[in-house]
Chains A and B, each alone.
Chain A
Amino acid sequence: MAGIGFELKKILKKESLTSLFIAYSYATILSAGGWVASILSILTVGFINILLYDNSSDIIRFQVSVTHLIALSLIVSGIHQLVFTRFIADKIYIKEEKAIIPNLIGITILNTAISFAFIIIYSLFALKGIDSFYFNIFFIMTFLLLSNIWILNIIAVSIKKYKHTIVAYFISYLLVLIFASVFGKYGLDYLIGSFFVSNIFLFLTLLFLVIKSYFFSKFISFEFTKYYKKYFSLVLAGFFFNLGIWSDEFMFWYSSTGNGIIGKINASIVYDLPLFLAYLTIIPGLAIFFIRLEADFAELYDKYFKGVVNGATLYKLLNYKNNMIDLIRIATKEAIIIQGIFNIIFYLTAPKIINFLNLPLLIVPLFYIDMVAIQLQLIVMINLAFLFYLNKRREAAIVTFIMATLNIILPFISINLGPYFYGYGSAVAMLIASIAGLLFLNKSMMRLEYETFMLQ
C-alpha cells in the first residue's frame, strides 16, 4: 500500500475538518476493507426493509445467506490475497507493469475455478431443500463475484486507485440499498438478486479501473503461481487470517446455539448480532492505525533503509530504528485509547442502542465481551500489519495460525461451558494471538539491524 501514505498526508495537509474526515474515511474503507462495508450495508438493508415492508423472515434469510457468502468467499480467496499483493508490488517495483493485467486475468480464472469447486460442494450440502432456482443461481454467482472482488480490491488499492475504489464501493452498496428497498417486497430471491447485481457493478468497475491503467500485450499469464511456492507463508497467513476472523462464528452457527435459517445455512441469533455490532466499533481504531502505518511508519521505514544503502552511521540507523519502535508503541497505544474511548461510549449506551434496534437486552453482556475481543483482534491486525511491513512473513503466518486454531478451540470450549461464557473463547484466542504478535514484533525490532546487515 505504499503511496497511500503520501495521499493521506496530502489530504491531511489541508488541516480542515473536512479533510480530516476525508482522510479517515479513506483509511477506514481501505483498511477495514470490503467486509465492514458489506456487513454495514446488509444491516442497513435489513433495517430499511423491516421499516418499509416488515418482511423480517425474508430479511433474516437474506442477511444470513449474504453473511455466509462474505465469510466463505473471504476465507477461500484468502489463499491468494497476500501472495498476489506481493506479486503485484514486486512487479510494480521492477517496473514490469505490463505483467499486471495478464496475471490478473490468470488469478481471476484460478480463483474462480477454486471458488466454483468449493461453492458447488458447499451448495450440495447447504442448499439442500431450497427449491427456488433463482436463489440457488444467485447464491452461487454471488459467491464467485465476491471471491474475485476481494482480490480485485487489493489490486486496485495496490495500484493506488484509492478514490475510485472508494467511490465504486460507495455506489455499489448504495445500489444494494436502493434495489433492496425497491424490490424487497417481492421476497428473498429479489433481495439476493439486488445484492448480486450491485456486486456485478462493483466487480466491473474495479476491473475497468485496473485494466485501463496498464498496457498489456499478453492476455493471460500464470506467472504469479511461482509465488505460491516462494511465499508459501503468505498463502498460509492469508488463509488463516480470514479463517481466524470468522471461525468463532462458524463454531456458534453449527453448534447447539445455531439454527437453520435457510437450507443448512445456520445463524446463531444470540451470538451474531452483538458480534456484528461490536465489529462496527472497530472502525475508528482501525482507521487511526491505518493512517499511522501508511503515513508515518512507512516514512520512517523508508528513511531507515535509505540510510542503510546510502551509508549512514550505525548510530543514526539505530536512531531511525528507535523512531520506528516509538511509532509502533504510539500506534498501538493510540488504537487502544481511541478504541477504548469508543468502548466506554458503547459500554454506557449499549442498552439504549440495543433497545433502539429492537434486540433483546439479553445480549448486552455478550456485546460487552465481544467489544473486548474485537479490540484485541484490532491489536492482532496491527501486529500483523507491522510484521508484513518488516517482511516477517513466517512470523505473521504463525500469528494467524494461532489466531485461527485458538478461535476454533476456545469458542468450542466456551459453547460447552454455557451461555455465560459465550464470547470469552474468542476474546482469549485474540489475547493470546496478540501477545504472540507483540513478542514477534518485539524480537523483529530488536534484531532489525542484525538481520538487515548480516542476513540480507
Chain B
Amino acid sequence: MNKPTKPIDILIIGEGTYPYIQGGVSTWIHQLIEGNPEINFGLIFIGGQKTQYKKQMYDFPLNIVYFEEVFIFEEEKLPKSKSIKQDRSVINQIDEIHNLFRMIHSSKDKLNFLSNLIGKFKLKDFLYSDTSWEYTKNTYFDKYENESFIDYLWTIRNIHIPIWNLFDVINRLPEIKLVHSPSTGYAGFLAGLIKISKNIPYILTEHGIYTKERKIDLMTSDWFTTRTPFVNYSDTKGNLVRDIWNNFFAGLGLFSYFTADKILSLYRKASEVQISYGAPPEKTDVIPNGVDIKKLTPLIEKRKAHHQRICLIGRVVPIKDIKTFLKAMRIVVNKLPDAEGWIVGPTNEDEAYFEECQNLTKTLGLTENVKFMGFQNILDIFDKISVNTLTSISEGMPLTILEGFAAGIPAVTTDVGSCKDLIFGSIDEEDIKIGQAGFICKVADANCLAQAYISLLTDEALWKKQQQSAIKRVSKYYTYEKLISNYKKIYYKALNWQE
C-alpha cells in the first residue's frame, strides 16, 4: 500500500478510467483535480487485470498525493483450489447479507456485520467451500433451474470475487475526509462502503447511467473469457448471465444511491433516470460538463472557409454506430460530390468493427470521401470542418459537442443522452431562447442525418445562425470555470470549509 505524501482531503475512485483510459470521464476527473489545486486528492483506480492497462495517459497534477490500484479480476491472485468444509451456520449469515442489500437500507453496524462475515468467510471459502456450494446450488434451483448451470456459477463467481478485493482496500485505506465516485458499479459500491466505515461524506456523479457497455467491458475481460471459453454472450444464451449482471449492478447502484450524500448527473434527463432507478430525489442535482473556452475560441477566427467537411469524433466502436454515419455520407455525397466525412478517434479498440467499417466504406464507394484519421488533437481539427456529428446509440454528455460549440461548430447528433439539451437548450428559459445549435435525428436514421448535414453545408446563413447559438450556449452554461466552481461549492459544503 502506498503512503500518501500529504493528508488526503478527497478520494476519487474510478473504475476503468483515469489515468489509463482516455475519454469523457477521465478528462472530467483530470479537470476537477487541476481546477482545485488547494485540495489534496487521493485516487483509487479499479481495473479488471493489470495487463489491460499499459501506460498512464495523463500526467498527474501535483495535488494528487496518493494513488492506489485495485485489479478485481486477477486470476493469479485467486487462492489455490482445495476442498473446504465449513460450518452450516454461515449459510444463514450469507442470507442475511443478501437481504441486507435487498432492503437497501444500511447502517454502520450492518456493515460491521458484513466485514465480520467477510473476515470469517474468506474468498477461498466463497470459491471452494461446501457451504458456498450448497448456497449457490439452492439459489440456482430457486431462480434459474432451467438455465445453464456452469454459466450461472461462473457469473455468480465473477460478480462476487471483486468484493473481497474491495474490502481489502478499505482495511488498508489512509485517512480521508470525503469520497467521490464518478460512477456506481464497483467504484460506487466501494465508495459507499468507505462512507459507512469511515463515516465521511460521499458524493456520486454519474456520467452515464452505468450502461450495458460498461458491463460488457468487464465481462469480456481476458480473465473472464479464458476461464469460461464456453460462455458466450450472444442474445440467445447470454440472457441468464446478463440478467444476473444487471440485477447485481442494479443492486450496487441502489447501494450507491442510498449511501451517497449527493447524487449528481450531467443533465436533467439523467437525473430523472436516476430517480426512476431509486435515487432519492432530494439528493439529486445536475452539474453539466464544462469545456475550456479560452483554448478553443481562437479556432473560430482560424477557420478560413466554409469547408465541405463533416467530422465525427469518437472511438470506432459499435456503440458509436459509425456505420450509420457512413450511410448518411453516401446520401450527402450523392448531392455534394466533394463533401468529406472525417472519423477522428482510435480504431484499435474493436479491430473487427473497424474492419467492417472500412469494408462498408469500400462497398458504398466512399473511399475518396471518408477518412479514418485515428486519434488527433481536436485543435487541429475544428478549424477545418463545418459540422460536428455523433451518430451514437448511447451517450451521456459528449464533450466533443461542447468543444465543437466553443470552436464555433454546430452539431448534428442522434437523440441520445443530453444531445437534445445541448442543441436546443434546456437549462432554463434563457437557454432555450438562445436557439438551435444544430439538428437532432432518431438513432440510426441515416436519411435525417444526411439532410441535416446537407442543409448546414449548403445554407451558410443557417449555419452562421446556429454557430452563434452554439457559441452563446457553451460560454454561458458549459464552461470549465463553471464546472469547477460548482464542484468547489459542493466540496466545501461537504467538508464544512469556508470559501
Residues of chain A whose beta carbon lies under 8 Å from any beta carbon of chain B: 308-315, 317, 447, 450-451, 453-456
Residues of A within 8 A of B82 (CB): 455
**Is A311 in contact with B128, judged by CB distance below 8 angstroms?**
no
- What's the nearest-Cβ distance from chain B to residue A110, in Å? 31
B497 CB within 8 Å of chain A: no
**Is B145 in contact with A450, judged by CB distance below 8 angstroms?**
no
Tell which of B130, B132, B145, B237 touches A313, judged by Cβ atoms closer than 8 Å: B145
A218 to B128, CA, bound (A): 43
- Tally the A-B contacts, defined by beta carbons under 8 Å: 47
Rank and list the top 10 A-B pairs by shortest CB-CB distance, nearest first.
Answer: A311-B148, A314-B149, A455-B81, A450-B133, A454-B133, A454-B128, A309-B230, A311-B150, A311-B151, A453-B153
Tell which of A310, A313, A315, A450 touches B230, judged by Cβ atoms closer than 8 Å: A310
**Is B147 in contact with A313, judged by CB distance below 8 angstroms?**
yes
- What's the nearest-Cβ distance from chain A to residue B225, in Å? 15
A309 to B150, CA, bound (A): 7
Residues of A within 8 A of B127 (CB): 454
A83 to B141, CA, bound (A): 40
Residues of B within 8 A of A313 (CB): 145-149
A317-B149, A453-B150, A455-B81 are known contacts; what are 14 more A-B pairs with Cβ within 8 Å? A310-B230, A311-B148, A311-B151, A312-B148, A312-B149, A313-B146, A313-B148, A314-B140, A315-B145, A447-B83, A450-B133, A453-B149, A454-B81, A454-B129
Residues of B within 8 A of A312 (CB): 148-149
A456 to B227, CA, bound (A): 11
**Is B145 in contact with A455, judged by CB distance below 8 angstroms?**
no
Kindly report which residue of chain B lies nearest to residue A311, judged by CB atoms: B148
A454 to B133, CA, bound (A): 7
Residue tally, chain B, CB below 8 Å to A: 23
Tell which of B128, B137, B237 touches A314, judged by Cβ atoms closer than 8 Å: B137
A455 to B149, CA, bound (A): 15
Kindly report which residue of chain A lies nearest to residue B154, judged by CB atoms: A453
- A sample of 19 cross-chain residue pairs with beta-carbon separation below 8 angstroms, ordered by A number, consists of A308-B150, A309-B230, A310-B148, A311-B150, A311-B151, A312-B149, A313-B149, A314-B145, A315-B141, A317-B149, A450-B133, A453-B149, A454-B81, A454-B127, A454-B128, A454-B132, A455-B81, A455-B83, A455-B128
- What's the nearest-Cβ distance from chain B to residue A190, in Å? 59
Tell which of B130, B148, B151 touches A450, judged by Cβ atoms closer than 8 Å: B130
- What's the nearest-Cβ distance from chain B to residue A315, in Å? 6
Residues of B within 8 A of A315 (CB): 141, 145
A314 to B133, CA, bound (A): 12
A72 to B458, CA, bound (A): 99
A315 to B153, CA, bound (A): 14
Residues of B within 8 A of A453 (CB): 133, 149-150, 153
Residues of A within 8 A of B149 (CB): 308, 311-314, 317, 453
A43 to B409, CA, bound (A): 102
- What's the nearest-Cβ distance from chain A to residue B30, in Å? 43
Identify the interface centre among B127, B128, B148: most chain A CB within 10 Å of its CB. B148
Residues of A within 8 A of B230 (CB): 309-311
**Is A311 in contact with B237, judged by CB distance below 8 angstroms?**
yes
Kindly report which residue of chain B lies nearest to residue A317, judged by CB atoms: B149
A317 to B149, CA, bound (A): 9
A309 to B227, CA, bound (A): 12
Kindly report which residue of chain A lies nearest to residue B130, judged by CB atoms: A450
Residues of B within 8 A of A447 (CB): 83
- What's the nearest-Cβ distance from chain B to residue A273, in Å? 47
- What's the nearest-Cβ distance from chain B to residue A456, in Å? 7
B66-117: which have CB < 8 Å to A? 81-83
Interface string of B222-242 (1 = CB under 8 A from A): 000000001100000100000
Identify the interface centre among B127, B130, B133, B149: most chain A CB within 10 Å of its CB. B149
- What's the nearest-Cβ distance from chain B to residue A305, in Å? 11
Residues of B within 8 A of A310 (CB): 148, 230
Residues of B within 8 A of A308 (CB): 149-150
A310 to B230, CA, bound (A): 7
Residues of B within 8 A of A450 (CB): 130, 133
Interface string of B117-149 (1 = CB under 8 A from A): 000000000011110110001001100011111
A315 to B140, CA, bound (A): 10
B139-198: which have CB < 8 Å to A? 140-141, 145-151, 153
A317 to B231, CA, bound (A): 17
Residues of A within 8 A of B128 (CB): 454-455
Interface string of B205-248 (1 = CB under 8 A from A): 00000000000000000000000001100000100000000000
- What's the nearest-Cβ distance from chain A to residue B132, in Å? 7
Kindly report which residue of chain A lies nearest to residue B126, judged by CB atoms: A454
Residues of A within 8 A of B231 (CB): 311
- What's the nearest-Cβ distance from chain A to residue B267, in Å? 41
Residues of A within 8 A of B153 (CB): 453
A310 to B231, CA, bound (A): 9
Residues of A within 8 A of B81 (CB): 454-456
Kindly report which residue of chain A lies nearest to residue B134, judged by CB atoms: A450
A245 to B484, CA, bound (A): 84
Kindly report which residue of chain A lies nearest to residue B231, judged by CB atoms: A311
A312 to B127, CA, bound (A): 21
Identify the interface centre among A309, A451, A455: most chain B CB within 10 Å of its CB. A455
Residues of A within 8 A of B148 (CB): 310-313
A453 to B83, CA, bound (A): 11
A451 to B129, CA, bound (A): 10
Tell which of A311, A317, A451 touches B83, judged by Cβ atoms closer than 8 Å: A451
A455 to B133, CA, bound (A): 10
A317 to B150, CA, bound (A): 11
- What's the nearest-Cβ distance from chain A to residue B158, in Å? 14
A86 to B133, CA, bound (A): 30
Kindly report which residue of chain A lies nearest to residue B240, judged by CB atoms: A311
- What's the nearest-Cβ distance from chain B to residue A104, in Å? 33
Identify the interface centre among A309, A453, A454: most chain B CB within 10 Å of its CB. A454
A55 to B133, CA, bound (A): 69
- What's the nearest-Cβ distance from chain A to residue B264, in Å? 41
Kindly report which residue of chain A lies nearest to residue B153, judged by CB atoms: A453
Identify the interface centre among B137, B140, B147, B150: most chain A CB within 10 Å of its CB. B150
A309 to B133, CA, bound (A): 18
Kindly report which residue of chain A lies nearest to residue B129, judged by CB atoms: A454
A315 to B145, CA, bound (A): 7
A450 to B131, CA, bound (A): 10
A126 to B153, CA, bound (A): 61
Residues of B within 8 A of A456 (CB): 81
A451 to B83, CA, bound (A): 8
**Is A314 in contact with B83, judged by CB distance below 8 angstroms?**
no
A312 to B148, CA, bound (A): 5
A454 to B151, CA, bound (A): 13
- What's the nearest-Cβ distance from chain A to residue B131, in Å? 11
A454 to B157, CA, bound (A): 10
A393 to B138, CA, bound (A): 30
Kindly report which residue of chain B lies nearest to residue A456, judged by CB atoms: B81
- What's the nearest-Cβ distance from chain B to residue A451, in Å? 7
A290 to B8, CA, bound (A): 71
Kindly report which residue of chain A lies nearest to residue B132, judged by CB atoms: A454
A309 to B232, CA, bound (A): 12
Identify the interface centre among A309, A313, A315: most chain B CB within 10 Å of its CB. A313
Residues of A within 8 A of B146 (CB): 313
Residues of A within 8 A of B141 (CB): 314-315
A453 to B148, CA, bound (A): 13
